Amino acid sequence: MSLRSLLTTGLLAAGALAAPPGYGGSTVTVTVTEKASCSASTSHSTSHSTSHSTSHSTSHSTSKASTPKTYATSTPSSSHSSTSSTLTSSSATSVTTTTSSAANTNASTTILATATSTSYGLNDAAKKAGKLWFGTALDVPGTGEAQDPYYIAEFDNIHDFGEATPANIMKYEFTEPEAGVFNYTGAEEFFTAAAGKAVRCHNLIWSSELPAFITAPTVPWTNATLTAALRRHVTTLVEHFGDRCYSLDVVNEAFSDSPAGAYSANVWYNTIGPAYVVEAFQAASDAVRANNLAVKLYYNDYNIEYLGNKSYAAQALVKDLKNRGIQIDGVGLESHFIAGETPAKAAQQANMEAFTALDVDVVVTELDVRLTLPPTVASESQQVVDYYNTVAACVAVPRCVGIVVWDFDDTYSWIPGTFPGQGYGDLFLQPGGANTPLVRKAPYDGVLEALTGAAEAN
């Protein structure tokens, strides 16, 4: 029985765990253990307390086991009792989830130091797993997070984040606010903030965050005039950003969920038809070749993380572009998931392999796993498994070249603003709110376990 089956059949139901962590100040300890026939044993032990320590040891045995790790999930509370649940699957995978009122109440003052001085983190582990990096989106400059020293200190922690994606500042309305008038100020500040990290430039052509001259033109667009505007935007930005971008999301979210795989209606599609996607990639491809650039060209979308009509549509697009001799190097699998509704590791892996079979890379580009608030032991345990499965799928696919979370701190997550009543989807939180120390959450541990290959959760 898979770990997912164990969870969904109720063996890790909320009722089995008496003490929900909520936001009230408990800890979650997660152990993922896999028995392997003959392999090296890797152990990462991390404890959060007022005297934080992180240790790593490697030994050889016939089993792999990780020591339990305890992460504060919220602010201090004395009201929670201790409880635990241990699951063991027939495939020799076990997960132990423990909540307790452990007195790590003053940990926050040292946890920031942990976040900024960790000697081994997610990016280190990703690289060791053969990936290019583990990265994050962030919404800088000009936002609250850009001014939060604790947030920025963790972003700057190269042990955790070797890649940065601009959440907004490279989008059309910021880079070309008026027709033919390009503004690179924010994008350049982003490059400066991300110095030392790879940058996935996001995005060139999308239906959202467009300037008024595109959405409300004084003279109605024709196919020819809008195509010219699209090509100008793409060409100019490819040439300006150049190889400072590891990759460019040339087109974002072209396909619909209803009916799945159809083109979404938007100003581009409504005026140009499906050819707008080809035009955008043609312009990017031409600019890359004319300027002898190495930047990789990506298509990026959500609900293409599992096999289905929308994924098939994206696969057909890859084939079409390649048949036309147009450059496309990769597909971004956004991976905005919901705890308990995340595709299984095998399903994600099969989907990734369907893309890589077309001779493109894939990247998990916008990973987060949201919960219905408040979190419970069951939902947060599920969230750990869901993060684990997504990252483990990428680890299992050689041409899944990296993993990016869509911001790393609940304080600045896009989720609550878009899905009221949901959130808690990121790897860190700030118990004291903005401009206070960050605390690692249990999913951080699940991601690290997946990257170190310490267990098999599917």
Residues engaged in binding ligand G3I (CB under 6 A): 139, 167-168, 208-209, 252, 334, 366, 414
In the bound state with ligand G3I, the residue whose beta carbon lies nearer, of 284 and 367, is: 367
Closest residue to ligand G3I, judged by C-beta, is: 414
253: annotated active-site residue: yes
Q: In sequence order, which residues have a C-beta less than 8 Å from that of residue 212 and are 6 or more positions away?
A: none
Q: In sequence order, which residues have a C-beta less than 8 Å from that of residue 33 and are 6 or more positions away?
A: 63, 64, 65, 66, 93, 94, 95, 96, 454, 455
In the bound state with ligand G3I, the residue whose beta carbon lies nearer, of 252 and 327, is: 252
305: annotated active-site residue: no
Question: C-alpha distances in angstroms, 87 versus 22, 90, 185, 353, 443?
Answer: 22, 10, 52, 30, 18
Q: Are 137 and 366 in contact, with CB atoms under 8 Å apart?
A: yes
Cα–Cα dist 279/321, whole Å:
10
In the bound state with ligand G3I, the residue whose beta carbon lies nearer, of 167 and 229, is: 167
Annotated active-site residue in 34, 253, 334, 456:
253
Backbone region of residue 277 per phi and psi (left: phi > 0; alpha: psi in -120 to 50; beta: other values): alpha
Tell me how far, at minimum, the Cβ of 135 lies from ligand G3I, in Å. Answer: 14
User: Is the peptide bond preceding residue 375 cis, with omega within 30 degrees of 0?
Assistant: no
Tell me how far, at minimum, the Cβ of 300 lies from ligand G3I, in Å. Answer: 7
- The HSE-up count of residue 455 (CA atoms within 13 Å, CB side) is 32
Tell me how far, at minimum, the Cβ of 91 lies from ligand G3I, in Å. Answer: 34
In the bound state with ligand G3I, the residue whose beta carbon lies nearer, of 167 and 313, is: 167
Tell me how far, at minimum, the Cβ of 236 lies from ligand G3I, in Å. Answer: 20
In the bound state with ligand G3I, the residue whose beta carbon lies nearer, of 71 and 406, is: 406
Tell me how far, at minimum, the Cβ of 257 lies from ligand G3I, in Å. Answer: 13
CA angle 260, 272, 166 (to 5 degrees): 70
Q: What is the DSSP string of 363-399?
A: EEEEEEEEEESSP-HHHHHHHHHHHHHHHHHHHH-TT
Tell me how far, at minimum, the Cβ of 235 lies from ligand G3I, in Å. Answer: 21
Cα–Cα dist 128/123, whole Å:
8
Q: How many CB atoms lie within 10 A of CB 384?
A: 26
In the bound state with ligand G3I, the residue whose beta carbon lies nearer, of 65 and 146, is: 146
Annotated active-site residue in 163, 176, 334, 366:
366
Separate counts of helices (H) and strands (E) for the chain = 16, 21
Tell me how far, at minimum, the Cβ of 208 lies from ligand G3I, in Å. Answer: 4
In the bound state with ligand G3I, the residue whose beta carbon lies nearer, of 139 and 286, is: 139
The pair of structure tokens assigned to 118 is 């960790």
Task: Find the helix or strand (DSSP H, E) in which 124 lies.
Answer: helix 122-128
Active site residues: 253, 366
